[in-house]
Amino acid sequence: MRGLHIKNARLLDARGERMGELYLSDGRIGLNPAAFEQEIDAQGMVLMPALIDLHCHLRDPGLTYKEDLQSGMRAALKGGYGTLCAMANTAPVISTPALVEANHEKAQKLRLCTLIQAAAAGMELKDETPTDWAALSKATKLLSNDGQTIFSDGFMKRLLAASAEYGFLISTHCQPERRIIARDLSLLKEAGGRLHIGHISHRESLERIRAAKAEGLAFSCEVTPHHIFGFGCDYRVNPPLRERADVQALIQGIKDGVIDCLSTDHAPHSPGDKEAGMAGISNIEYALQVFLEVFYQNAIPLTVLSRMASLRPAGLLGLNKGLIEEGYDADLVLLDPDSPGTIRAGEMVSRSHNTPFDGRAVRGRILCTIVEGEVRYDARH
Ligand code: DOR
Ligand code: ZN
């Protein structure tokens, strides 16, 4: 039996923190002494559930000059992520169970991160011909036309109804943001369903979401590292980087608990594609350091970070992850949350280094990422 003992750790999750030790075996967390082959002395560092990204782009298949499953997952492990939801805007678009399963199998062989491959809601990411929602919901938990907005009210209403029937989560891309969010919330009221609003960026979107939640409507939403860290610059991402007031409003939304999740929207692009005007930022390997910096600056506890980046995404996806408790999946990240850090585009392991944040100061050092009880990234030495 293989086992890993981690001692002297500051165990921190959404429910609190305490000093302690863990025994990992068969991919699960145990709290009682058990046989082990390998030992890590955490030396008082923070051990958290590994992060779960509800929204990233791994470009596999077909756009692998930007990223592929292996390079994206290596970057993700370096950033403390154990589970990734990869969007469907690949070539071909992921629109069939066979394409979903091909990526799941490829990821399993790599033994890096756990992959949840999202499927397109519409053929070619259009809001015209639906993909086979019943069949796809057996292969994946997440449907999204991300990259493209669902403009058709009828299509969105049918998709919401199907999400209630088949149990999948819909992740939306909303541009123009305020109008589409308002439309989706009113359709949700009529049709029910499982709505997750992707990458919110504008203060008025947040107010709309706040009001809908106060009314009792059930749905979730996310923010990205760049929308709570960058503003007033013309680096191209969708939705765009906004103004200081928007960043402040989003951080208030984190403090109030109105925003559910932290997602990356990691969107690697080659230099040529960026020059040609493509939107996106490569960020998965420093996302956690941006979160640590923003949370520190605004005195938001790390338990909130863990809830938003691990527990809540796990709940939305129905995973046995996101807490450090007996029987949970042994997906963990060991980090020094206080050490100073700097984003260095030249040191990134993602295939694409497109970021406006080169040289920016952040916080924290990621020491070790463990997935399925195995150390899959180790920067301790
Ligand atoms: O900036 C973005 N890039 N936003 C998206 O929604 C899509 C993504 C991409 O695929 O490049
Ligand atoms: Zn998007």
259: pLDDT strictly greater than 90: yes
Percent of the chain with pLDDT strictly greater than 70: 100
Name, in order, each residue with C-beta under 8 angstroms of 327's C-beta and a sequence gap of 6 or more: 28, 29, 320
Please state, in angstroms and as integers, the Cα–Cα distance from residue 352 to each residue in 2, 22, 347, following that order.
Answer: 36, 36, 11
CB 354 near ligand 1, within 6 Å: no
235 lines ligand 1 (CB under 6 A): no
Per-residue model confidence (pLDDT) at position 148: 98
Q: Given CA atoms 288, 198, 297, 236 in this order, what sign does their dihedral have?
A: positive
Q: Where are the domains of the chain?
A: 49-317
* 274-302 mean pLDDT: 98
pLDDT of 138: 98
Bridge partners of residue 197, in order along the sequence:
172, 221
Ligand 1 pocket mutation, candidates 146, 180, 241, 281, criterion most atoms within 8 A of CB: 146
- Looking at the structure, give the CATH architecture of the domain made up of residues 49-317: Alpha-Beta Barrel (3.20)
Task: Tell me the sheet residues that pair with 53.
Answer: 84
Round to whole Å and give the CA distance between 87 and 289.
Answer: 23
Dihedral pair phi/psi, residue 161, rounded to 5°: -60, -40
The structure tokens listed for 249 are: 């409003």
Asked if the model's pLDDT at residue 350 lies above 60, the reply is yes
Ligand number nearest CA of 87 is 1
Four-residue CA torsion sign, 6, 8, 12, 16: positive
Q: pLDDT band for 381, please (50, 70, 90 cuts).
A: confident
pLDDT band at 237 (very low <50, low <70, confident <90, very high): very high
pTM: 0.98
Ligand 1 binding pocket includes 227 (Cβ within 6 Å):
no
324 lines ligand 1 (CB under 6 A): no
Sign of CA dihedral 44, 50, 53, 58: positive
- Rounded Cα distance, 344 and 336, in Å: 18
Measured in angstroms, how far is the CA atom of residue 280 from the centroid of ligand 1? 5
pLDDT at 1: 53
Per-residue pLDDT tens over the stretch 191-212: 999 999 999 999 999 999 999 9
Structure confidence at residue 2 (pLDDT): 75
Give, for ligand 1, the residue of 53, 56, 57, 173 to mutate: max count of ligand atoms closer than 8 Å to Cβ. Answer: 57
> Across all residues in the chain, what is the average pLDDT?
98
Q: Among all ligands shown, which has an atom nearest to the Cα of 144?
A: 2
| Whether residue 358 lies in the annotated active site | no
Whether residue 57 has its Cβ less than 6 Å from ligand 1:
yes
CA torsion angle 74 308 298 238 (round to 10): 70
- Residue 281 alpha carbon, nearest atom of ligand 1: 1
Give the nearest ligand 1 atom to 279 CA.
Answer: 1
Banded pLDDT at 317 (limits 50, 70, 90)? very high
Mean pLDDT of 43-50: 98
**306 within ligand 1 shell (Cβ under 6 A):** no
Q: Residue 270: pLDDT above 90?
A: yes
Of 60, 184, 265, 331, the active-site residue reads: 265
Quick one: angle between helices 153-166 and 177-191, nearest 10? 50
What's the order of all strands across the beta sheet hosting 169-172? 142-144, 169-172, 195-197, 220-223, 261-262
Ligand 1 probe mutation, 125, 265, 283, most atoms within 8 A of CB: 265
* DSSP string of 60-80, one letter each residue: TTT-TTT--HHHHHHHHHHTT
55 lines ligand 1 (CB under 6 A): no
**How far is the centre of ligand 1, averaged over its atoms, from the C-alpha of 221 (Å)?**
17
Backbone angles phi, psi at 68, to 5 degrees: -140, 180
Residue range 361-374: mean pLDDT, rounded: 98
Q: What pLDDT, on the 0 to 100 scale, is given for residue 57?
A: 99
Q: What is the mean pLDDT of residues 62-79?
A: 98
pLDDT band at 223 (very low <50, low <70, confident <90, very high): very high
Mean pLDDT of 201-228: 98
Q: Is the pLDDT of residue 307 over 60?
A: yes
DSSP summary character for residue 310:
I
> Of 122, 119, 124, 125, which Cα lies nearest the Cα of 104?
119
Would you say the CB of residue 290 lies under 6 angstroms from ligand 1? no
Structural tokens at position 123? 């053929």
pLDDT of residue 231: 98
Nearest CA to ligand 1 atom 3: 280
